[in-house]
Amino acid sequence: MTGSVDPPSFRLAYVPGVTPDKWVRIWNERLPDVPLSLTQTTPAEAGGVLLAGDADAGLVRLPVDRTVLSAIPLYTETTVVVVPKDHLVTAADEVTVEDLADEIVLHPLDDVLGWERPPGRPALERPATTADAVELVAAGIGVLLVPLSLARLHHRKDLTYRTVTDAPESSVALCWPEDAHTDRVEDFIGIVRGRTVNSTRGRQPATARPQDERTEAASTRRKPTAGGRTGGGAKSGAKSGTKGGAKGGTRGGARSGGKGGGGSGAGKGGRRGRPRQR
């Protein structure tokens, strides 16, 4: 981590359409002593807010300047066209850019889709904001293409939307200044990536014992006591002597008698020559 001291709080910037509620709740559960404050900013100003140090991290829309900002892409949104509820477009579940060729397509100044040239016919003027464009759609002046989250953010009862299958899409990322990757930033990265509370990713591991200490400890566990060696040897010797003596005496005696012919042979001969009693 490049930050030497963690701030007493964590400041998170976010752009319209992004809903950080779930991640904020997890943060408050895991780090109750570190307050998290939210600041909403426009997509165009998000990078400047981070670089100026007005926020520790931000949930922003790509692209961003990757030479000074680190970014982790989180998700990509579906693009929809916002239209009045009685518009012909509502007859289908999905439409294409070509289906909007005859429509006046509003292109607000805060557009986040990055069109080279929007489809359809241009309006006489560009609305200042997406919110202004939505008002014009409600007035029947044109249609508007936006990420799904913005269509939901500016929802009106008299408007609806349909998916546009081949339009540009908008991606959301977690960003922070490259030279300000603190432990608090790493904590938030872990939350948005779904790491568990016990994960050590991004933290310094506990210092391990030196190799010579581990070796000495292992050697001590394996080394038997002197008494154990003596006892084991005595027991082994006793067993060996008893078994060896018994086997040796029995086998040796039998073999000697058989070869010599004195003991065993005489016994057998005597039994065969004894008369039967009647």
Tens of pLDDT, residues 114-157: 998 899 999 999 999 999 999 999 999 999 999 999 999 999 99
Contact between 83 and 34 under an 8 Å Cβ cutoff? The reply is no
267 has pLDDT over 90: no
Residue range 203-230, pLDDT digits in tens: 443 334 444 444 444 544 554 544 444 4
List, as own/partner pairs, every contact residues 245-252 make where C-beta atoms lie below 8 angstroms and the sequence separation is at least 24, other chains included.
none
pTM reported for the whole predicted model: 0.69
Which of 78, 245, 234 minimizes the C-alpha distance to 164?
Answer: 78
Q: What share of the chain is helix, strand, coil (3-state, %, to 5)?
A: 40, 20, 40
List of domains in the chain: 10-76+171-192 (3.40.190.10), 79-168 (3.40.190.10)
Contact between 130 and 145 under an 8 Å Cβ cutoff? The reply is no
Residue range 47-90, pLDDT digits in tens: 999 999 999 999 999 999 999 999 999 999 999 999 999 999 99
